[in-house]
Amino acid sequence: MLHHPLLCASRTATQSTLCAFVFSGTGNVLPGRNSLAGNFGLKFSKQMSGSKLNYSQTREGFKLRTTNANANAYGHAQEEVLKEEAIEVVENRPSWETSPGQAFPLGVSQVDNGINFAIFSQHATAVTLCLLLPERGSIDTLDGGMIELALDPHSNKTGDIWHICIEDLPRSNVLYGYQIDGPQDWGTGHRFDRSIVLVDPYAKLIEGRRYFGDISRKLSKFLGTYDFDSLPFDWGENYNLPNIAEKDLVIYEMNVRAFTMDESSELDNNIRGSYLGVIEKIPHLLELGINAVELLPIFEFDEMELQRRPNPRDHMINTWGYSTINFFAPMSRYASAGGGPANASQELKQMVKALHSAGIEVILDVVYNHTNEADDPNPYTTSFRGIDNKVYYMLDDKGQLLNFSGCGNTLNCNHPVVMDLILDSLRHWVTEYHVDGFRFDLASILCRGTDGSPLNAPPLIRAIAKDAVLSRCKIIAEPWDCGGLYLVGSFPNWDRWAEWNGKYRDDIRKFIKGDSGMKGSFATRVSGSSDLYRVNKRRPYHGINFVIAHDGFSLRDLVSYNFKHNEANGEGGNDGCNDNFSWNCGFEGETDDASIRALRSRQMKNFHLALMISQGTPMMLMGDEYGHTRYGNNNSYGHDSAINFFLWDQLDARKGDHFRFFSNAIKYRHAHKTLSHENFLSENEITWHEDNWDNYESKFLAFTLHDKSGGDIYLAFNAHDYFLKALLPTPPTKRKWFRVVDTNLQSPDDIVLDGVPGIGETYSIAPYSSILLEAKF
């Protein structure tokens, strides 16, 4: 594996600038202040082609000292070059004062007498703090060098936490990391490597490459940084959190970069694909009608990770972001104009503030089940693995990584240290960035003990539910993992946790595409999945209803493909789910056949209507409002292209038809509280117009939702391939049925919010279509 030259312990002869200062002392560091130039003693080290040339401080200055005879091969000229470098460094050497510092808080903090650094490592035998100062270059350049400060285990360690405080250190733009040494026995689970500079797990900002997908810097290193110079973010005197009730949420799952990256967004190149780009498109979100965005991961991740070594996927860029480097730092390459981590932090806050001002909540998709550090055969050590592998990851009895995530490693979530890390991270996003909630990727992993076995009462899940800071947050579990722990309806919840309802997705798909025997399941799902969530104090809104999510087919592909088409991913079609419950409506893929296109349009509207009239919390996917296609790719994580980008020109082309239906259906839900009950429906609140539940071949369902004021809503779904004439129930006194939705009709008649009168005692419902009638005066 290649590392950034600045940060390696060794360098080639062609990389001949000074690599590092190494601060070391001849004895233990005494409590109190110490001068780095005095008490510690400066030692500059450089390793070249197997030889080590050392400079040690004397009264006469810096003298070259060779550590083996091979150094003579460099000759007199090389010696003079090195002397010049050393002299230049001496003239600019820092004159900081240091003290042992404090163990808490972990990470970097500003204290009265300087900047404090603290990091946990239970099994480390040596810890070195590495600093790169602004005047000595940056991670983007190859000039300057890192300052290495070895921490003394007797004075710079409290329990398992290593710490130091440095006076006069710049308050911003300093890059830092750690070199950590320890036992080398992989068989017992250790993965220490002294040569690698590691990212602090508690770093609040991460510096790496500045531009997303920059192929010229695909092997760039990542370092922590901090910013104590900037003024606190101005949230505004009249700023308020939306505080939307869970039962009233309509969630829009989206990717920050993909939302505005396409040229059709017509945004300035500097803000396309950025946090600021999202702000520019808030009017679209308001027009659509959603009131919460669920952002695909925005924690710092390495989008170029698939290109670190030759492999079948090395042509791809990770654009979804499910590969976390650090759990505190916002994705720096979502800053505008390559602005870097401090700007990313500020612009993310601007985005949250703007969304909140528009009445839209912000939910983060968070990945605490694994990290970017891959597996043991192809390890990618950036942080946790090299800091304390045995603590941060689940291991088997042979010291090898367990893999319940499908990504090579599994975070040891219920270990006390890791649990604290996760809780501290969540609180940070709530207090610093004002986010409104979290969706936990593969949350069943958070329910496993340190040995990987399932826990009935996982400490972490309980702690999140009971935490005071997180009390106002929506907390949503993806209640399964890649190890087979499927907890839909049984996720440990403490009456707070909501769940992605995977059974809703599957049952709705099967019924609407015309599978037999699904009528009863369809009825259960649209009425709130009481079979799953009616327990203790759980409510219908604890089920997050969805037909489509980022992982799988888009809505258009769900009605256009019978099979996944993932050839572009490079894995021979072996990746991605095979159980899509999709139907291509008679032809695989794109077609000009008008009848097939019309059927697909109807089916997409049927799915969306079912989602918006179901009890529970609806979630839709970015792009489905105009019918985005990925051309059958149901695992498009690695395509930083139009496959994933929101295509604004296609939205414009379908604004008056497809988008209009989707937007109006959402707005109808908001306007009718009958569709979003606080509690599960009673017998007085719903009437099923069905006396043939056991008919396996029946694919028709009709029901009425009763409103206390008389504004009843009648719904019917026909998944047969022929017309059905439905006998309508008598509307409430003095009211008549008005047609609001008929997905068989062309726009604008397919949805009319005020309703169309003249509905008789029966209604002929077309094949693969649905209707919504409202009782009105």
**CA atoms of 279 and 441, how far apart (whole Å):** 25
Buried b (16+ CB within 10 A) or exposed e, 430-446: beebbbbbbbbbbbbbb
In which residue are the tokens 């003990």 written?
449
Check residue 136 and give its pLDDT. Answer: 56
Q: Is the pLDDT of residue 657 over 90?
A: yes
> Distances from the Cα of 230 to the Cαs of 224, 322, 453, 542, 619, in angstroms?
17, 30, 45, 40, 37
Q: From the candidates 302, 388, 478, 506, give the one annotated as an active-site residue.
A: 478
Print burial letters for 286-322: b (CB count within 10 Å at least 16), e (below 16): eebbbbbbbbbbbbbbbbbbbbbeeeeeeebbbbbbb
Find, among 279, 429, 412, the residue nearest to 354 by Cα: 279
Q: Is the per-residue pLDDT at 43 higher than 50?
A: no
Dist. CA 267–CA 329, nearest whole Å = 26
511, 519 Cβ separation under 8 angstroms: yes
Kindly tell me if the per-residue pLDDT of 61 is higher than 80: no
- Environment class of 761 (CB within 10 Å of its CB; exposed 0-12, middle 13-18, buried 19+): exposed
Per residue in 403-420, pLDDT (tens digit) is 999 999 999 999 999 999
- Which member of 441, 499, 507, 624 is catalytic? 441
**CA terminus-to-terminus distance, the chain:** 73
Of residues 765 and 45, more confidence is placed in: 765
**Residues 312, 314, 320: CA angle, nearest 5 degrees:** 110
Q: pLDDT at position 145, please?
A: 80
Q: Can you tell me whether residue 134 is helix, strand or coil?
A: helix
Non-local CB neighbours of 484 within 8 Å, separated by 6+ positions: none
CA–CA gap between residue 527 and residue 535 (Å, rounded): 15
Sign (positive or negative) of CA dihedral 484, 316, 637, 598: negative
pLDDT tens-place string over residues 510-522: 999 999 999 999 9
DSSP 70-116: GGGGGHHHHHHHHHHHHHHHHHT----EEE---S-SSEEEEETTEEE
pTM for the full predicted model: 0.89
Please count the residues of the chain.
777
* 101 close to 169: Cβ distance less than 8 angstroms: no
Residue 229, pLDDT above cutoff 90: yes
pLDDT of residue 692: 87
Q: What is the pLDDT of residue 633?
A: 98
Which pLDDT belongs to residue 95? 76
The dihedral sign for the CA sequence 131, 386, 26, 81: negative
CB-CB contact of 688 with 523 (8 Å): yes
DSSP state of 232: P
**Between 19 and 471, where is the model more confident?**
471
Helix (H) or strand (E) holding 346: helix 341-357
Contact predicate 5/11, CB 8 Å: yes
For residues 350 and 338, give the distance between their C-alpha atoms in angstroms, rounded to a whole number: 17
pLDDT digits (tens, 9 = 90+) for 256-294: 999 999 999 999 999 999 999 999 999 999 999 999 999
Over range 28-51, report the average pLDDT. 35
Q: Using CA atoms, how far apart are residues 374 and 376, in angstroms rounded to an integer?
A: 7
- Could you tell me the domains of the chain? 98-227 (2.60.40.10), 249-675 (3.20.20.80), 686-776 (2.60.40.1180)
Q: How far apart are CA 667 and CA 608, in angstroms?
A: 12
Looking at the DSSP assignment, which residues form a beta bridge with residue 552?
Answer: none
Query: Which pLDDT band holds residue 85 (cuts at 50, 70, 90)?
Result: very low
Q: How many CA atoms lie within 13 A of 149 on its CB side?
A: 28
Please tell me the predicted confidence (pLDDT) of residue 94.
Answer: 67
Q: What is the pLDDT of residues 416-439, one digit of tens each?
A: 999 999 999 999 999 999 999 999
Question: In terms of pLDDT, which residue wins out, 89 or 379?
Answer: 379
pLDDT band at 134 (very low <50, low <70, confident <90, very high): confident
Distance CA 108, CA 129 (A): 12
101 in Cβ contact with 142 (< 8 Å): no
pLDDT band at residue 454 using 50, 70 and 90 as cut-offs: very high
Strands (DSSP E) contained in 228-329 are 251-254, 292-295
In the sheet that holds 700-705, the strands lie side by side as: 686-688, 700-705, 713-718, 769-776, 736-742, 751-756
Tell me 662's DSSP state.
Answer: H
Exposed / middle / buried, residue 589 (Cβ in 10 Å: 0-12, 13-18, 19+): middle
pLDDT value of residue 37: 38
* Tens digit of each residue's pLDDT (9 = 90 or more) over 728-760: 999 999 999 999 999 999 999 999 999 999 999
Comparing 27-31, 172-176, 337-341, 597-601, the range with the smallest average pLDDT is: 27-31
Q: Confirm whether 88 is a catalytic residue.
A: no
Which pLDDT value is given to residue 138? 52
For 8-52, the DSSP string reads -S-B-TTS-S--EEEE--SSPPPSS-EETTTTS-EEEEEEETTEE
pLDDT in tens, 682-728: 999 999 999 889 999 999 999 999 999 999 999 999 999 999 999 99
Q: Which residues, at least 6 apart from 464, have a Cβ–Cβ distance to it below 8 Å?
A: 422, 423, 426, 470, 475
pLDDT higher than threshold 60 for residue 17: no
pLDDT tens digits, 661-683: 999 999 999 999 999 999 999 99
Higher pLDDT, 113 or 335: 335
Q: Predicted confidence band at 142 (pLDDT cuts at 50, 70, 90)?
A: very low
Cα separation values, 742 from 716, 730, 753, Å: 10, 19, 12
- Can you list the alpha helix ranges (DSSP code H) found in 226-340? 256-260, 275-280, 282-288
* 253 flagged as catalytic: no
pLDDT confidence of residue 339? 97
Burial readout 64-89 (b: 16 or more C-beta within 10 A, e: otherwise): beeeeeebeebeeebeeebeebbeeb
pLDDT cut 90: percent of the chain above it: 86
Residues of the chain above pLDDT 70, percent? 87
- The pLDDT of residue 96: 86
Q: At what angle do helices 459-466 and 416-433 cross, to 10 degrees?
A: 30
The Cα 68–Cα 51 span in angstroms is: 7
Quote the radius of gyration of the chain (alpha carbons, Å): 30
Residue 709 has a CB neighbour count (10 Å cut-off) of 8
Do 361 and 237 touch, CB atoms closer than 8 A?
Answer: no
CB 632 within 8 A of CB 564: yes
Residue 252 contacts residue 365 (beta carbons within 8 Å): no
Hey, is 174 helix, strand or coil?
strand
Phi, psi of 691 (to 5 degrees): -130, 20
For residue 27, the model assigns a pLDDT of 31
DSSP secondary structure letters along 607-656: HHHHHHHSSSEEEEETTTTTT---TT-S--TT--STTTS--HHHHHHTII
Looking at the chain, the number of H-run helices and the number of E-run strands are 15, 31
Q: Distance between CA 106 and CA 57 in Å, rounded?
A: 33
* Exposure string for 596-618, b = 16+ CB within 10 A, e = fewer: beebbbbbbbbbbbbbbbbbbbb
Q: What does the pLDDT look like over 299-348, one tens digit per residue?
A: 999 999 999 999 999 999 999 999 999 999 999 999 999 999 999 999 99
Q: What are phi and psi of 143, to 5 degrees?
A: -100, 165
Q: 428, 204 in Cβ contact below 8 A?
A: yes
Arithmetic mean of pLDDT over the chain: 89
